[in-house]
Amino acid sequence: MRVLLVEDEVRLADNLAAALRDGPGFAVDWAEDGQVGDDCAGNRCYDLIILDLMLPRLDGLSVLKRLRGRQDATPVLILTAKDGADSIIQLLNAGADDYLAKPFDLGELIARAKALIRRGKGAVHPTLTVGGLEVNTLEQTVRRDGALVDLSPTEYHILEYLMHRPRVIVSKRELLEHLYDYNWEHHSNVIEAHVSNLRKKLDGALPEPEPVIETMRGRGYRLAPELQLKPEPDLELSQ
């Protein structure tokens, strides 16, 4: 998952980026002011935007309004040092999804970030299940038919991304955009190698494996075309 962090305080941005990379393993892009933040958000490759309010050049509220003005539905978590319900009401009404008041707890920030990404993808539970495949996003563990599958961080992130979008063809470019930050040298063959390893690890544990990830040549990857897809129980409840 790729997160855009718009925060002008360097040390805080450093810490947040480090925490988001170390903890849930997100790819983090950092924008130092509102204008850069707005430009970055225009790429629409983020799964979450963490936005400070008091920013140079363009304040957080304006960034948020521009974002929503473009019909961009990316979840937005606001960091604010302002007190008062008015400010919070204004923010939520302007399209913010959540807010955290400074000084905040890093653990809470990560939890909220995860929750917002999850909600943004339409999942309601931190454990994603497609057929016999189960991905626990909190522990970052993967089980196939109950058996634990050991994955590298990148393999896990690819799988988690695909798990959010079953039966949809996800291009390599999309995977690159959502798994790597701006500073990464983009090479699609990196993805190919990781998907190949991932497929081996997921299928290798079973005696008669059904292929979990299908490669659509020139178009991308698709998760579990043959897996018995059953709607998630929680989704049923929510409908």
Partner 1 sequence: MRWFFRQRPTAFQPGSIAFRLIVAVLAVELVSSILVVGLSFGYERHSHFHAFDVLMHGHIDSILGAVQDADDSAKNLMLVQADLHLPRDDIYEVYDSNGRMLGRSSNWQGIPPNTPAPSQGPSMQLTVNGRPYRVLRFQGSRIIDVAEPGGGKLRQFTILYGAPTNHVWRAIRGAVEFYAAGSLVVLLITGPLIAWLLHRGLLPLRQLASLAAQVSVDSWQFSPPVSAHSTPELAPLTLALENVLHRLEQSFTQQRTFVSDAAHELKTAVAVIKSSLQLLDMKRRTAAEYQAGLERCLADSHRLEEIVAKMLTLAREENTSAAFGPRPASDLTECLDSAVAQLETFAALRDVKVEVAIAFSGVSLVPLIAEDCSLLLTNLILNALQHSPAETLVEIRLAQKGGNAELRIQDHGDGIDPAALPHVFDRFYRGDPARSRNTGGTGLGLAICKAIAERAGGSITIASQPDPALPNQGTTVTVHLPLASDAETGESALPSA
Query: How far apart are the C-alpha atoms of 1 and 174, rounded to whole Å?
Result: 11
Helical H segments across 140-187, by residue range = 153-164, 172-179
Reference 177, options 60, 27, 34, 32; nearest CA is 27
Interface pick for partner 1 out of 1, 4, 16, 115 (rule CB under 8 A) = 16
State how far Cα 225 lies from the chain centre.
Answer: 23
Q: Are 131 and 230 in contact (CB under 8 A)?
A: yes
- 163 belongs to the binding site for partner 1 (CB under 8 A): no
- 81 belongs to the binding site for partner 1 (CB under 8 A): yes
- 138 belongs to the binding site for partner 1 (CB under 8 A): no
Interface pick for partner 1 out of 32, 72, 174, 232 (rule CB under 8 A) = 32
Interface pick for partner 1 out of 68, 82, 121, 143 (rule CB under 8 A) = 82
Nearer to partner 1 by Cβ, of 35 and 136: the residue is: 35
Reference 31, options 157, 161, 181; nearest CA is 181
Interface pick for partner 1 out of 22, 192, 210, 234 (rule CB under 8 A) = 22
Number of residues that bind partner 1 (CB under 8 A): 26
- 140 belongs to the binding site for partner 1 (CB under 8 A): no
Using CB under 8 A, which of the segments 53-61, 172-180, 210-218, 220-228 binds partner 1? Answer: 53-61
Interface pick for partner 1 out of 11, 93, 146, 231 (rule CB under 8 A) = 11
Reference 4, options 106, 124, 116, 88; nearest CA is 116
Query: How far apart are the C-alpha atoms of 151 and 76, rounded to whole Å?
Result: 30
Residues that bind partner 1 (CB under 8 A): 8-12, 15-16, 18-19, 22-23, 32-33, 54, 56-57, 81-83, 101-107
